[in-house]
Structure 1
Amino acid sequence: MMFLKRIPLLFSLILSSIALLPGFSQTTNNFNVIAYFAGNAAQLDSFKVANITHLIYCFGHLQGNSFTLGKPADTLIINKMVALKRQQPHLKVLLSLGGWGGCETCSPVFSTHAGRLAFAESVKVMQTRLHTDGIDLDWEYPAIEGLPGHPYGPADRKNFTLLVQQLRKTLGKESIISFAAGGFTEFLDKSVEWKKVMKEVDFVNLMTYDLVNGYATKTGHHTPLYATSQQAESTDHAVQYLRKLGIDSRQLVIGGAFYARVFENVASTNQGLYQSAKFKSGIGYKQFFPTLTPDKGYAYYWDEEAKAPYLYNAQEKLFVTFDDRRSIELKTKYVVDQQLGGIMFWQLADDLPEEGLLDAIADVKKSYRPAASTIK
């Protein structure tokens, strides 16, 4: 009888030993996969929402001191997002404020206690009415220049802290509060009181894309994983910057780009990389294949240092910087290796419904296990 009583314990020990073997895992990775969405309601049915943990509606704006939606269709989109939670109970739906060029009055409104309080209360009302789970702040940017002509000033940095503190007080502990942060050094240095802000928010969405933006006069990687000898800004640079400040790695969410930036008038030197240029346009990932193909003159290159792809069209002197399945897989593995909070991307409607970049993230999340030596 004593031997029989020990069988369950012995079996448990055997399973525990097997779990320690290389390549064996009992659980999947549990990092967040956060999708910004700026499409229409019908498009949501095309994507595997089961592979997403947070779906962020883009964008609401300020009307006076209050959070507002622009048109009736916005409410329909949010209602559709919330309805998806019936099939995917794990899913969280967030509202978002701002976006590029969408926060023109943020600096003056959030400069006063009355403005911050009114905004927080309006978010609570909207969240209650729409049954959403929280708010993502996409103020581009506190304390530094965003869209030319939009007001900003040094006081924005402190006021952003006061804003997230007021939101937490008003919305309570159960609501999710996050914010989108520029992934470049000037933002990291000047825009946020990091230790104070991160005490109030659940996570930060690092926009580790547009690191070479539409105002650039020289090509480069707009969303590289690592810095190079020619380009200091990168995903890893932003992550390590915040880690050195003592920010919890589990609050850091890195960004993937589901779109490309195209530059024109680019010399053929180094296949167009790090050359003088003028920004031409952006293009969504789902449009890559009919547009950026070898038969149209585009040659594919991989930068092993940056872990980033690029294209060059010698005939038309066009340079293209982007994420693809290979670079997204490496970014997702980086999340696991560095024990980060997750990966987010702009934006879901730019993806392919099948064999797209969301699928690449999901494949890594399901199957990737780091070697012990990679865990930081």
Structure 2
Amino acid sequence: MKKLLLLTFIVSATFVSAQTNNKKISVIAYYAGDAQHIDAYPVEKLTHIIYSFCHLKGNQLNVDNKNDSLTIMHLVELKKRNPSLKIILSIGGWSGCEPCSLVFSTDVGRNEFAASVKHLNEYFKTDGIDIDWEYPAIEGYPGHRYTPEDKHNFTLLLQTLRNTLGKKYEISFAAGGFTKFLQQSIEWDKIVPFVDKVNLMTYDLVHGYSKVTGHHTPLYSTPQQLESTNNAVHYLDSIGFPKNKLVIGAAFYARIFDTDIDANNGLYQPGKFDRGFSWKDFDMDALQKEGYVYHWDDVAKAPYMYNAAKKKIITFDNERSITLKTKYAVDQKLNGIMFWQLADDKTKDGLLDALDKALHN
């Protein structure tokens, strides 16, 4: 009887430990869709939804229109389905932070912004702010202002937000997953006390302006491509940034590139970006009928497809790579995994389902 009780205790303790470990892993969805479509997604499998995007109006965080307000309010209502779910407001995006460098360069701008963030979170009953400024101190969206002072001003912005919001609200930011951003945009040693999470955009590592093809969201570097999820995590760990504040990124969309020559199944060749498309529109059978051949890069741990006749390569995340990224986040004791974006997923048997399965297997 004692042995049975001991065995029961061990099994129960193991189960509780597994549950606790899983709860430590954030599963964060950026969401740029509307109020209606999100109901079809398994939001019970998420810890956070980041509403994308609010914008600056003057020095203040602004919700653009009635539809955006309705969407945010509906996201908050999803807590009835998932009581532990947190809804985060976000500012910026690739083209959405044009005034950020100027506004965040002054105490007045930072203070007014932080006050507006607190006001909107209180009004909507949301749970924090995510800053998606692409990028402080280095060139981002063409024509947007950037200055060397952005780097320190970003630290002051996070400090002002924390002083204004206190501990009640979460503060995170979307960080470029590439080396130049990691080395030049952020005062990593100074921001630690102010942020809960850093959402590493370890996707678009080969992007719309790239002139050489490659994996846009690989887990590991290859001899031909340094930029990867592991490269970003390793760099930040090497300079002492706490890994338990790092969230790695996955892509719920694919990118197609044209290659100049037919070589190496399209990888690491001169070429240019053609277009992107959502995972929900990814049809393996149709692509294979068009002449695309599926490949798996076992070094990068990344899938891709190549059409030799058309000289086109598709780079993406799939169920296999998402599973490996999720297990990497757990094994490395990171804060979690996030993705852009939920509305790109399939509503059933999608990449979020694969991610959740990886967490619980």
TM over 0.5: yes
Matched, 1:294 2:285: no
Aligned counterpart in structure 2 of residue 27 of structure 1, from 18, 35, 48: 18
Please give the per-residue CA displacement for 1:43-87, whole angstroms capped at 9, x wherever unaligned: 111100000000000001111101012221111110110000122
**Contact in 1 for aligned 2:221/2:227 (Cα 8 Å):** yes
* Alignment of structure 1 residues 224-243 onto 2, 5 Å: 224-243=218-237
In 2 relative to 1, CA 291–191 (structure 1 residues): closer, same or farther, beyond 3 Å?
farther
Matched, 1:82 2:73: no
**Contact in 2 for aligned 1:264/1:318 (Cα 8 Å):** yes
Could you tell me how far apart the structure 2 residues matched to 1:149 and 1:258 are? 28
2:270 aligned partner, one-letter code? S
**Contact in 1 for aligned 2:197/2:245 (Cα 8 Å):** yes
SS at match of 1:293: helix
Q: Tell me the percent identity.
A: 54
**Contact in 2 for aligned 1:284/1:350 (Cα 8 Å):** yes
SS at match of 1:58: strand
Q: CA RMSD in A?
A: 1.7
Please give the per-residue CA displacement for 1:137-178, whole angstroms capped at 9, x wherever unaligned: 000000000011100011000000000000011111110000
2:309 aligned partner, one-letter code? Q
Could you tell me how far apart the structure 1 residues matched to 2:17 and 2:153 are? 45
Aligned counterpart in structure 2 of residue 59 of structure 1, from 33, 46, 53: 53
In 2 relative to 1, CA 150–292 (structure 1 residues): closer, same or farther, beyond 3 Å?
farther
Could you tell me how far apart the structure 2 residues matched to 1:364 and 1:220 are? 26
Q: Could you list the runs of 5+ residues in structure 1 that have no partner in the other structure? A: 1-6, 368-376
Could you tell me how far apart the structure 2 residues matched to 1:215 and 1:182 are? 15
SS at match of 1:320: strand
> Post-superposition shift, 1:297?
1.4
Could you tell me how far apart the structure 2 residues matched to 1:124 and 1:25 are? 36
**Contact in 1 for aligned 2:213/2:259 (Cα 8 Å):** no
Q: Counterpart of 1:214?
A: 208
Aligned counterpart in structure 2 of residue 246 of structure 1, from 228, 237, 240: 240
Could you tell me how far apart the structure 2 residues matched to 1:61 and 1:17 are? 51
1:210 aligned partner, one-letter code? D
Aligned counterpart in structure 1 of residue 357 of structure 2, from 363, 366, 376: 363
Aligned counterpart in structure 1 of residue 184 of structure 2, from 190, 208, 216: 190
Could you tell me how far apart the structure 2 residues matched to 1:280 and 1:291 are? 21
TM-score, normalised to structure 1, is 0.92
Could you tell me how far apart the structure 2 residues matched to 1:346 and 1:291 are? 24
> Post-superposition shift, 1:366?
1.2
Q: Which moved more, 1:301-310 or 1:241-250?
A: 241-250
Please give the per-residue CA displacement for 1:318-342, whole angstroms capped at 9, x wherever unaligned: 1111101110000001011111110
SS at match of 2:273: strand
Q: Counterpart of 1:3?
A: none
* Alignment of structure 1 residues 1-376 onto 2, 5 Å: 13-15=6-8, 27-28=18-19, 29-30=22-23, 31-289=25-283, 293-367=287-361
SS at match of 1:39: coil
In 2 relative to 1, CA 13–310 (structure 1 residues): closer, same or farther, beyond 3 Å?
same
> Post-superposition shift, 1:25?
7.3
TM-score, normalised to structure 2, is 0.96
In 2 relative to 1, CA 307–363 (structure 1 residues): closer, same or farther, beyond 3 Å?
same
2:227 aligned partner, one-letter code? E
Q: Which moved more, 1:314-323 or 1:116-125?
A: 314-323
> Post-superposition shift, 1:264?
1.5
SS at match of 2:224: coil
Segments ≥4 residues shifted beyond 4 Å: 10-13, 15-21
SS at match of 1:27: helix
Larger radius of gyration: 1
Could you tell me how far apart the structure 2 residues matched to 1:275 and 1:292 are? 25
**Contact in 2 for aligned 1:286/1:350 (Cα 8 Å):** yes
What is the total number of aligned residue pairs between the two structures? 358
1:175 aligned partner, one-letter code? Y
In 2 relative to 1, CA 292–218 (structure 1 residues): closer, same or farther, beyond 3 Å?
farther
> Post-superposition shift, 1:27?
2.5
SS at match of 2:337: strand
**Contact in 2 for aligned 1:266/1:319 (Cα 8 Å):** no
Q: Which moved more, 1:265-274 or 1:302-311?
A: 265-274
Q: Counterpart of 1:4?
A: none
